[in-house]
Structure 1
Amino acid sequence: MSDDLLNLRNRHLPTENQELQQQLETLVAQARLNEQVMRRFQDAELRMLGVSSFKELLQYVLQEMKETFDLDVVTLAVIDPEYEVRRMLIDIGIPANEYPGLMCLDNPSRFHRLCGTSLAPVLGQYNVASRAPFFPRDTPPASIAILPMVRQKKLIGSLNLGSRNEARFAPGMATDFIGRLAAILGVCLENVTNSERLKHLGLTDPLTGVHNRRYFDQRLQEEVSRAQRQRFPLSCLFLDIDHFKQVNDQYGHQTGDCVLREVAWRIKGQLRSIDVLGRYGGEEFAVLLVQTDMASALTIAERIRHSIAEQRFKGEGDETLAATLSIGVATLHDCNRTQNAETLAQQLVARADQGLYRAKQGGRNCVMVVMPESDKASSVEVR
């Protein structure tokens, strides 16, 4: 090699070294960034796999995930043709408006129109016509990713991500990480749904199909605590079928079971989805009326009493028979946050039970309320 060429190469070596150094630094920075991204996704997967309830999963996906991945919108769409998920939310005490990012869809037709039969992830610009069902209309994102969740070759819903950055999700971008995240979420959603289903079976009275005492006691504590936090009234009804032993003795236990089932469903028919009905034991039922003051509770109790007394019951055979209810009512007003929630719950139930006792003593087929201040009972009575 000539001296001129050698000198020329030597002059270029610092520049080449600098360029190589810059390339190496860029690769190292990218590798570190990829490692951070991978760790973030792994942490998210572990977090979802570690949840133990449907509510905890919703809390993470719809609230915490936005911060974790710097997103502006996260929603979860669930295929729910049999209303199972919506009933589950009611059963576990989650109001419909608590998680506006959760959407329960009756059928998967919207997904198939958007994703095709392959159900591949959809990335790109937000489009009102086709993508609005998956995102809030009042604050639509600029770019979105709709990630179908499939379990056992069946579409169960989608994880939907949105950003105000138009370049965040673009067609053709790699979807390995977010696709895997949606797959893990599908597994977790199936697991918590099955878990809640088993819990529901353990908290349901097999004869009447309404909740049992264990479930009622759990919800009682929750609703008293919520009433304390939000300072709204909470009312409790105790209901007992009058002379039920005579029904069993005269018509048989099968007819008695028919009456119990029908009474349970007539009571339920007078309640809202946020109210709590439980079979407390034998022929006795208990109801929690959420955000309900005493005047409204008395109106509902009288409506329930009337629905039982004014329509005869059909037995196991061709016989028809009449039945009535005695009902005790109690209400918590302006709950003090410093008071013990368990003590307040016990006092509420005790007053409702006392009202029921006085209704029985007062001739049955009537409603009596026990006031917390004076412990005196008043009655609303229809013979």
Structure 2
Amino acid sequence: MRSAIDSEALIADNEQLRAELQDLLQQAHINQSIIERHQAFDLKLIGASEFRELIEVMLTVMPGVFSLETVTLSLIDGDYAIQRILRDLQIGINEFPKLLFLKQALAFPDDDLTRADEKPRLGPYVAALHGPLFPHYEPVSVAVLPLVRQHRLLGYLALGSAYGERFTRSLATDFIERLATIAAVCLENVINNERLKHIGLTDPLTGVNNRRYIEQRMQEEVARSQRDRSALSCLFIDIDHFKRVNDQFGHQSGDDVLREVAARIKKELRLSDALGRFGGEEFVVLLTHATREDAARIAERIRAGVCSRGVMIEGSRDPLKITASIGAAALTPPDRSRPAAEVKQAMLKAADQALYQAKEAGRNRVMLAAGD
């Protein structure tokens, strides 16, 4: 009798062990699946070589991989340098509503998130603390990951969940710290890549776009205008008697004049417009969604702005009076039957011819090309 009871107990114990083993195997499979999913996500992060691609992975792919309600990325950009680069590279900030920009590091009580050794902060959502990181959605619990590279805080990757137990202060942060490190390295890499692109498309003297950029952008805008049947205009601007400045005051003074004129032109433009130094003392302005009348009005405003006050240069007691001649051409809308590259060249040529007419007519004036 005793032997039978022992056998039944052993069988019951064996079945319980089998059930526990099955649970462990099932959990191991789940854990393996999670690890593989996370590794695949890490590879996507590391493989992103462009800013737009990385932001897409962080803000669109990450919530699905980690079962989160929201993920935001906040970059510290107090001098607007990153935003200017993105704008010049035609990366629309409005494309990414969860991409945020902060002027400075956030102030957390009793914390200093600018320290390179700072750990991620996990816990319940507090509007006063986390509101700037979650402007469109209020999660229940959050994980704020400071993105630090070489003792410099780049920004914050903020994870938000609708479940209070998802992120708690007692939760182990090893995995989240690893994620923050990978994200920071990838972010620094793509920002540096975009900076290099920007340098390659920027005139080093004036800080505006160079000829390569403006011609490339103009062809893209011509193609877009052909599709949308929208107006497009360009201005050819030349500083009057610029050679005299170089001859009389030297090339350093000439450089000062170029920088000042570029700044005055840029002041009169919209964010959607583009300014490029075409060579020497010549600038080209691309005006999107601008008719011939719009181009004439903006060109006159630029002309008046350039000559509104003198430019102080070394070697001159009084401000040097500077004027500019401008030629304008418009496409309303561009001819669809011709290649965009050909239409671009025709528009540039028309604006250049109008500029020549402005020079011939006495300088310091705006001339419009004869027709669209």
Q: Which residue of 2 aligns with 1:94?
A: 91
Aligned partner of 1:61: which letter? M
Aligned partner of 1:184: which letter? I
Structure 2 residue 371 is matched with structure 1 residue 355: no
What does 1:111-130 align with in structure 2 at a 5 Å threshold?
A: 111=108, 119-130=118-129
Offset, 1:134: 0.5
Q: C-alpha deviations, 1:63-86, integer Å up to 9, x for none?
A: 232333333211111222333222
Q: Secondary structure at the match of 1:43?
A: helix
Aligned partner of 1:243: which letter? H
What does 1:172-211 align with in structure 2 at a 5 Å threshold?
A: 172-211=170-209
TM-score, reference length from structure 1: 0.85
Offset, 1:228: 5.6
Q: Give the Cα separation in 1 of the matches to 2:127 and 2:228.
A: 37
Q: 1:355–1:51: structure 2 CA closer, same or farther, 3 Å change rule? A: farther
Offset, 1:337: 8.2
Q: Give the Cα separation in 1 of the matches to 2:84 and 2:56.
A: 18
- Further displaced range: 238-247 or 341-350: 341-350
Q: 1:341–1:25: structure 2 CA closer, same or farther, 3 Å change rule? A: farther
Q: Give the Cα separation in 1 of the matches to 2:47 and 2:134.
A: 27
Q: Give the Cα separation in 1 of the matches to 2:69 and 2:47.
A: 24
Q: Give the Cα separation in 1 of the matches to 2:175 and 2:225.
A: 42
What does 1:16-55 align with in structure 2 at a 5 Å threshold?
A: 16-55=13-52
Q: Is the Cα–Cα contact under 8 Å of residues 335 and 343 in structure 2 kept in the other structure?
A: no
Aligned Cα RMSD in Å? 2.8
Aligned partner of 1:353: which letter? D
Q: Give the Cα separation in 1 of the matches to 2:49 and 2:199.
A: 17
Q: Give the Cα separation in 2 of the matches to 1:185 and 1:67.
A: 17
What does 1:261-300 align with in structure 2 at a 5 Å threshold?
A: 261-300=259-298
Q: Secondary structure at the match of 1:6?
A: helix
Q: Give the Cα separation in 1 of the matches to 2:192 and 2:108.
A: 24
Q: Is the Cα–Cα contact under 8 Å of residues 121 and 145 in structure 1 kept in the other structure?
A: yes
Q: 1:10–1:221: structure 2 CA closer, same or farther, 3 Å change rule? A: farther
Structure 2 residue 325 is matched with structure 1 residue 306: no
Q: Give the Cα separation in 2 of the matches to 1:232 and 1:126.
A: 47
Q: Which residue of 1 aligns with 2:157?
A: 159
Q: Secondary structure at the match of 1:209?
A: coil
Offset, 1:135: 0.6
Offset, 1:229: 6.3
Structure 1: gaps (5+ residues): 376-383
Q: C-alpha deviations, 1:111-163, integer Å up to 9, x for none?
A: 566676663222233221111111124x3223322111121233221111123
Q: Secondary structure at the match of 2:75?
A: strand
Q: Is the Cα–Cα contact under 8 Å of residues 149 and 182 in structure 1 kept in the other structure?
A: yes
TM-score, reference length from structure 2: 0.87
What does 1:60-79 align with in structure 2 at a 5 Å threshold?
A: 60-79=57-76
- Further displaced range: 149-158 or 118-127: 118-127
Q: Is the Cα–Cα contact under 8 Å of residues 41 and 177 in structure 1 kept in the other structure?
A: no
Q: Which residue of 1 aligns with 2:167?
A: 169
Q: Which residue of 2 aligns with 1:241?
A: 239
Q: Which residue of 1 aligns with 2:214?
A: 216
